[in-house]
A and B are shown apart, each in its own frame.
Chain A
Amino acid sequence: MSDLENSQKASYAVFFCTLVVVLFTLTPVIFPALYSSSFGMFTENLNPFEPGYQSTFLIVSNVVILGFGIAYYKKKIPSLVHDVVDKIRTFEIPKRVTIIALAVILGVYIGLSAPELSLDEGADWADYDAVLLPALEIWPFGQADDIYVQEQNDRYVRMFLLDVSLDIFQNIKLLPFIASILVVVFTYLVTVQFCQKRFAGIIAVIVLLQSYTFLKFDTVAVYENFWVLFFLISLYVIEKKWFLSPVFYILAFYTKAYVAPFFLMTLFTTYRSQISRRTKAAILISYVVTVSAAIALVFFGGTVYPDVIDVNYSKFILGFQVIIAQLRFDLFFIMLLLPVTVGLMFLSKSKLKHADSILILIFGTIIASPILVAFTYHYEILPYRFIPLLVFFSVGVGMFFSKKLVKLS
């Protein structure tokens, strides 16, 4: 079988898996009580097919967008409209203009968010006084009876950075905010690297910065974005300095253990990257070594993680129901998740290799939460865990603007 056939089969497999989890995620928008009625407890008061308040919005918007997309792909729309869409998709901006545009966007974002640095973290988020501060007081060598406090101190990189932010800068929100700004910058860089177009990067940044969830948690110290940043960098450096990728992955892991299974997505992204086979093999080996060491440390290093394992399969399906409730104010995301997923498959067919990478990253960042709650009793699904999903969704939207002009000579 040729490499091309293998590659296409992988693309279809990735698309199918992503489509399934996306449909699982969006179903509760239409029927919010469906999963609870089937897999929950004490459901006599629920109607499984009662429509949700956003059901009409989701159905109408998806019919319109998918209908337009299919008509565009099949060239069934008026040529004038087709040409306009093509012009937008092939539009590119010079490097200098890009820098200015990016600087202005970041300036507006920083200006709008910076006042949040003066908010009282403890007044906004009860976990700050209940969990994070007690953990910081005994960090790095103290022990706590409370498993929630102890779990904080197993996240060495995060605690170090928060400690620095509090002790040196006298504001625990400062470094988390800087991390969020860098998440925006790396969203741009990853998009440009995947699409080879600066305009796509600008679009991705704008999509990310309109996200309610991202803006809600960008300055929150209790639910910081350090782990998102480290994971993004670990992806970005694959094609630049590959040996740094596992280093940033391990930094992400010791910031938030939730990122542990994400290395599978990194390996797929590596497989789709334009680097030599030897480098791909080296990355694979480096990750096997890194992940093995991390697992050994988790299970033999006295961390709390082995103690929180508790399997409950029905929570897996209920987890999907929670996801969309957490993202209820991210209307752009709800509206475009399915069309973007389908569209990325077509982009993948058009030889945009990293369209598959984004599909697998969307798949992984969705399914990680239901898996987490199905296998542990300790954690609940919280919206900030979907910031990587929103980042990769933004990159995915940017990819639709990655079309290049073909010059006929």
Chain B
Amino acid sequence: MPEENIFYLCLNFILYMKNFSKVMLSIIFTTLIVGSVQSVLADEHRLGLQPVRIDAVTDLFKPVPIRNSEYQFHLQVVVRDSHGQLVSVTESTNGFYIPHDVTDEVFDHKFGKKEIVTVDNIKYEKVQYIVKDRHYKVPYKLMFFIPAIIEVSYGSETIIVDAFIFQAFVPLVYLEEDDVVDTQWTIFRKLN
């Protein structure tokens, strides 16, 4: 082909592609190097927060929403750092409870003195359950529980399981290793 018939559509195309290659190479190498270093660290940051669920064993203790039920609760979570300085105060009235005799039994006998209070013309029994200076070995909490240990007949066996009779959803509460948590549950039950 005679030389005069060649049309150069983009004169700096080769230069442009060279720069493009440099950029791509730098991205690929940076990603590879940094990615290789960090893959070792990632596994150590697993959080492992899955609670043991009794509903895997039986439906008898299946939790139901606390809203519009015979029970109501208010949870206050106070977080302090290792020096005792106040980090945060969080409240919640949202969550679940287990509608079972076990819950009634714990409410009647394990939470101490009961008070009778009237809220919006409805009479309630009120108890408080306070846990102080608790260290949680997790980086955050999305739920707080009141656990009960229950014996359950499972086939021919009797097994012991943890059941969370009251479970409160909270806004995510970040925790550092040495943080100390106080929880104050105020639980109401409608008086018949």
Which residues of A line the B interface, CB within 8 A?
A: 28, 32-33, 36, 40-43, 45-46, 50-53, 96, 99-100, 103-104, 106-108, 110-112, 114-116, 118-120, 122-127, 129, 147, 318, 321-322, 324-326, 328-329, 377-378, 380-383
Contacts and interface: CB of A to CB of B under 8 A. Distances in A.
A382 B170 CA distance: 9
B158 interface: no
Contacts, number: 150
30 contacts: A36-B76, A36-B89, A36-B91, A42-B74, A42-B128, A43-B76, A45-B76, A46-B89, A53-B81, A100-B26, A103-B27, A106-B27, A111-B32, A111-B33, A111-B34, A115-B42, A118-B39, A118-B43, A122-B50, A124-B49, A127-B142, A318-B91, A325-B79, A325-B87, A325-B90, A328-B88, A329-B174, A380-B92, A380-B170, A382-B171
B23 A103 contact: yes
A100 B46 CA distance: 33
A100 B24 CA distance: 9
Contacts of A43: 76
Nearest to B53: A130
A309 to B, nearest CB: 13
Most buried by A among B39, B42, B83, B86: B86
Interface in B84-100: 85-92, 94
Contacts of B79: 325
A48 to B, nearest CB: 10
B135 interface: no
Contacts of B170: 380
- What is the interface of chain B mostly: helix, strand, loop, or mixed? mixed
Contacts of B88: 28, 32, 52, 321, 324-325, 328
A293 B87 CA distance: 43
Of all A-B residue pairs in the complex, the 4 with the closest CB atoms, nearest first, are A111-B34, A107-B30, A115-B42, A325-B88
B27 A125 contact: no
B131 to A, nearest CB: 13
Contacts of B74: 41-42
Interface in B15-61: 19, 22-23, 26-35, 37-39, 41-43, 45-51
B186 interface: yes
B173 interface: yes
Contacts of B30: 104, 107-108, 111
A382 B172 contact: yes
A129 B55 CA distance: 14
A33 B87 CA distance: 9
A110 B39 CA distance: 12
Contacts of B46: 119-120, 123-124
A10 to B, nearest CB: 33
A118 B94 contact: no
B42 A118 contact: yes
Contacts of B43: 118-119
A325 B174 contact: yes
A51 B81 CA distance: 12
B42 A107 contact: no
Contacts of B42: 115-116, 118-119
A178 B25 CA distance: 20
B174 A328 contact: yes
Contact of A100 (B23, B32, B39, B45): B23
Given A326-B174, A382-B171, A321 B49 contact: no
Given A103-B23, A119-B46, A329-B174, A50 B31 contact: no
B162 to A, nearest CB: 15
Contacts of B103: none
Nearest to A56: B85
A386 B177 CA distance: 24
Given A45-B78, A125-B47, A325-B174, 9 more contacts: A32-B87, A40-B76, A107-B31, A110-B31, A111-B34, A127-B142, A321-B90, A326-B172, A380-B94
Contacts of B78: 33, 45-46
B111 interface: no
A41 B91 contact: yes
A74 B35 CA distance: 47
B47 A124 contact: yes
B67 interface: yes
A53 B19 contact: no
Nearest to A321: B89
Contacts of A51: 85-86
A43 B90 CA distance: 11
Contact of A381 (B22, B26, B49, B171): B171
A103 B26 contact: yes
Contacts of B27: 103-104, 106-107
A315 B83 CA distance: 29
B143 to A, nearest CB: 8
Contacts of A380: 92, 94, 169-172
Nearest to B35: A111
Nearest to B83: A53
A52 B171 contact: no
B49 A125 contact: yes
Contact of B50 (A45, A103, A116, A126): A126
Contact of A328 (B37, B49, B87, B184): B87
Interface string B57-80: 000000001010000001010111
B184 A126 contact: no
Contacts of B23: 99-100, 103
B48 A123 contact: yes
